[in-house]
Chain A
Amino acid sequence: MTDMSSSPIGKSLLRREDKRFLTGNGQYTDDVVMPGQTFGVFVRSPHAHARINAIDTSRALAAPGVVAVFTGDDLAEAKVGGLPCGWLIHSKDGSPMKEPPHPVLAQGKARHVGDQVALVVAESLLQAKDAAEMVDVDYEPLPAVVDTATADTAGAAVHDEVPDNVCYDWGHGDKAAVDAAFARAAKVTRIDLVNNRLIPNAIEPRAANAVHARHDDSYTLYVANQNPHVERLLMSAFVLGLPESKVRVIAPDVGGGFGSKIFLYPEETALVWASKRVGRPIKWTAERSESFLTDAHGRDHVTTAEMAMDADGGFLAMRVKTTANVGAYLSTFASSVPTILYATLLAGQYRTPAIYAEVKAVFTNTAPVDAYRGAGRPEATYVVERLVEQCARDMKLDPAEIRRRNFITDFPYATPVGLTYDIGDYAASLDKAQKLADVAGFPARKQEAAQRGKLRGLGYSCYIEACGLAPSNIAGALGARAGLFEAGEVRVHPTGTVTVFTGSHSHGQGHETTFAQVVAGKLGIPVENVEIVHGDTGRVPFGMGTYGSRSLSVGGTAIVKAIDKVIAKGKKIAAHLLEAADTDIEFDNGEFKVAGTDRKVPFAQIALTAYVPHNYPLDKLEPGLNENAFYDPTNFTYPAGAHICEVEIDPDTGRSQVVQFVAVDDFGNVVNPMIVEGQVHGGLAQGLGQAMLEACAYDADSGQLLTGSYMDYTMPRADDLPKFTVDTTVTPCTHNPLGVKGCGEAGAIGSPPAFINALTDALGVDGIAMPATPERVWRVANKFA
């Protein structure tokens, strides 16, 4: 029997999934070995843009151990379709976005370095690698389009049918109102920004293992993926033309995703198709160099932003113009990231009454760009918080003060860019962050640093994000081609233990602990009695997966809805056992009670009765205790917070050090504070990585990836980062029963502008490009262009 005070909700329970990972017993996709296993290796284009005149596979086919070699011609002959994009965006002129084919294996042309041209299948990995080098491809190199800002005037076309490389030219907001406000502004502040392109770099490389079963002509795919049901839907219905009932997708332990494992990729699709052709399971695991070349990248925006202000620094209107690189092909959610997930967030935490944004998305001969931790919202926050900082400097106002003057304080608040914030208290987070960061003591610290020849700066970022993707009807009206609900099933076993099946997926977030806390708390049973199952379309009824910080607010709510049904049915069983009316039964702390009496039945007895229905109202109630629920949220959730970064620069070396980073976030109610803090730490590391260290660089002429390994792409390491100070404020979300908002992306969203604002404060300049490497900092500090 569980006492209510021992409800696990809100407690920092240690994670139940840890032990298998700590002892080497996790099972990731590459750990899965099937009987008769073969190995796949992809032949990839060494050119950014090339016509494929011919592919000669004869030498490869004759190589030792080779089982098969497939090219784009084989897939075309089998009528395998291209990969779909899940979000339709319309340009300002009303025309739909350009959607050139995204072939599973290249058809006639390769469009980025690493584009997959052929699949070699062999008995061993080494044999497959050897044979891949014997596939002779006759490439005719073509001029490459690389640069984001000039892609629409490059003169060369990534896709022949899109001569100006413009996927769409989209507008959002009230342009006339914005123009009018700018015309009467006392002051206009303008900035130019580049949101640097990033490579996600989950430490587990993408991997897949496809198995075809002859007896029922079905497929099983093990894949490192964040949303196995979506993977199955897209692959079976849109590409391979298979019934979903014949495809099982299992995403076992997944070693980090950060968005990059949301998408349907060509590799696993080719493997599934080929597994039937060769009649053997085929496994492919990306080498890190392949991950760099072919995982969907993130960010890559070039932006001009302007704020119109009144004489007191009150925001009147904001105008934003962005060019966003979508890469060579439209990845699964690529079109939504620089539009729906970006421009709708440009109000930030402020009462700016009019906002207008234009976004031009361009194709280039680079890897596809899609959602990466934050997805559009870090880009929006970078624009808003860099612009607001510059506004403060232009108006000679304290940067915290200008924010406070413009904070939204009345909720619900409908922004001019299409969202309605349900609740928040932005000043509370800022107050707490300023206290924790000892902002009052900063001038003294700055002076002390100056005495040591160091430059100190302080930077703010007051971010907001829209999470809990998403109300399906709103998303649909905005172009989504899918629903965005979540599903959950609560299966109570005869002994009173519970297995929960969730369509959400954990790849580090700790669902097996957090979700079990919710279930145990709601049912009043020990956490040990709850098992969480995720990541398998063969076991979980349905799901939309994990992205957009939606797991607990949408997936958790679906589970709560299913629990409500379990309790409702349990009350009817209890009423029968206790010879009372259904309406007189209360459920509390794991017990069904007749209200106002001491007559009660424990949960476990109800479970047993449901499965051994000897004394049971069989005439009006089915046996069994197994309920599922689909939950579609009515609004997004709006986590928000205040981040304060303090940096110290050594002007002699250009090294900048984060000496303190304070993050105060409002995630609504928190189920497991330890896990939430961990999510914030990781997000901050990725955001600071973007601001300080990370950049995906392509050679501007050849389109070769210059940052294609950990020798070249600077990942944040332990000695690049400080210990973080993280805390929370709480305004519970108003429209889900747990009152939760989501915490997975906040760190990556809030931290880049906080760091850059601190850095420019220290340097006494208006801007510095991300990543602010020591070289860039040194050049600015020493006025050395």
Chain B
Amino acid sequence: MSQTVTMTVNGKQVSASIDARTLLVQFIREHLQLTGTHVGCDTAQCGACTVHMNGRAVKSCSMLAVQAEGAAITTIEGLAEGDRLHPMQQAFHECHALQCGFCTPGMVMSAVQLLQDNPKPNEEEIRAGLEGNICRCTGYHNIVRAIEQVAAQG
């Protein structure tokens, strides 16, 4: 069964006729070719698919595209302003908070949300706030440092 869906992604309105079963992440990756959003687990555990919907971090692998009808979506591709990286992206770079890069887009999107909710978190709160994102490369050490750095700047 196909269905039409319309939403705003990274500031641009998009509309498409899709199979009603299409997940939001599939819509983003396959229909819009925004492949920065990744799928790591299919069970809403790893967080690689995290995007912002109406300003809140959501796992785009565990919702249907049609559930985002009319929503404003921001993906990792929409975070920087032109060539100027978002402070969280910049801090990940400066703190070596990424290795293979696969979890990174979701991790950055979650980290941005984390500081929106709690601008001055302590280390324990940062670690708790990253519960929904799995990284296999970094041991989280430098991810925590990057978030601490942004929090200190803010």
Binding site for B on A (CB under 8 A): 14-15, 17-28, 30-31, 33, 124, 126, 201-205, 253-256, 258, 285, 287-289, 507-510, 674-675, 677-679, 681-686, 709-711, 715-719, 721, 723-724, 747
User: For window 28-47 of chain B, which residues contact chain A by CB distance below 8 Å?
Assistant: 29, 33-43, 45-46
Q: List 30 A-B contacts (CB under 8 A).
A: A14-B96, A15-B96, A18-B101, A19-B93, A21-B105, A22-B93, A23-B36, A23-B77, A24-B37, A24-B77, A24-B105, A26-B36, A30-B35, A31-B29, A203-B100, A203-B135, A204-B38, A204-B100, A205-B40, A255-B38, A256-B137, A679-B99, A682-B99, A682-B139, A710-B46, A710-B134, A715-B136, A716-B139, A719-B130, A723-B123
Contact B139 A18 (CB under 8 A): no
Q: Mark B127-140, 1 if CB is under 8 A from A, else 0.
A: 11011011111111
Residue from A288, A508, A721 within 8 A of B99 (CB atoms): A508
Contacts of A20 on B, CB cut-off 8 Å?
Answer: 101
Contacts of A25 on B, CB cut-off 8 Å?
Answer: 36, 77
Contacts of A287 on B, CB cut-off 8 Å?
Answer: 42
Contacts of B104 on A, CB cut-off 8 Å?
Answer: 21-22
B108 within 8 A of A: yes
Residue from B33, B41, B75, B136 within 8 A of A288 (CB atoms): B41
Contacts of A679 on B, CB cut-off 8 Å?
Answer: 99
B129: nearest chain-A partner, CB-CB: A718
- The total of interchain contacts (Cβ-Cβ below 8 angstroms) comes to 182
* C-alpha gap A721/B136 in the complex (Å): 12
Residue from A26, A27, A254, A678 within 8 A of B96 (CB atoms): A678
User: For window 114-134 of chain B, which residues contact chain A by CB distance below 8 Å?
Assistant: 123-124, 126-128, 130-131, 133-134
Q: A256-B102, A288-B43 are in contact. Are A23 and B134 (CB under 8 A)?
A: no
Q: A711-B43, A711-B45 are in contact. Are A721 and B139 (CB under 8 A)?
A: yes
Contact B75 A24 (CB under 8 A): yes
Contacts of B85 on A, CB cut-off 8 Å?
Answer: 19, 22-23
Q: Mark B8-35, 1 if CB is under 8 A from A, else 0.
A: 0000000000010100000001000111
Contact A718 B35 (CB under 8 A): no
User: For window 77-100 of chain B, which residues contact chain A by CB distance below 8 Å?
Assistant: 77, 79-80, 85, 89, 92-94, 96, 98-100
Contacts of A721 on B, CB cut-off 8 Å?
Answer: 127, 139-141
Per DSSP, chain A at the interface is loop
Contacts of A709 on B, CB cut-off 8 Å?
Answer: 41, 43, 45
Contacts of A683 on B, CB cut-off 8 Å?
Answer: 139
Contacts of A22 on B, CB cut-off 8 Å?
Answer: 76, 85, 89, 92-93, 98, 101, 104-105, 108
Residue from A19, A28, A681, A710 within 8 A of B43 (CB atoms): A710
Contact A681 B138 (CB under 8 A): yes
Contact A14 B93 (CB under 8 A): yes
Contact A681 B45 (CB under 8 A): no
Contact B77 A685 (CB under 8 A): no
Min Cβ gap B132→A in Å is 9
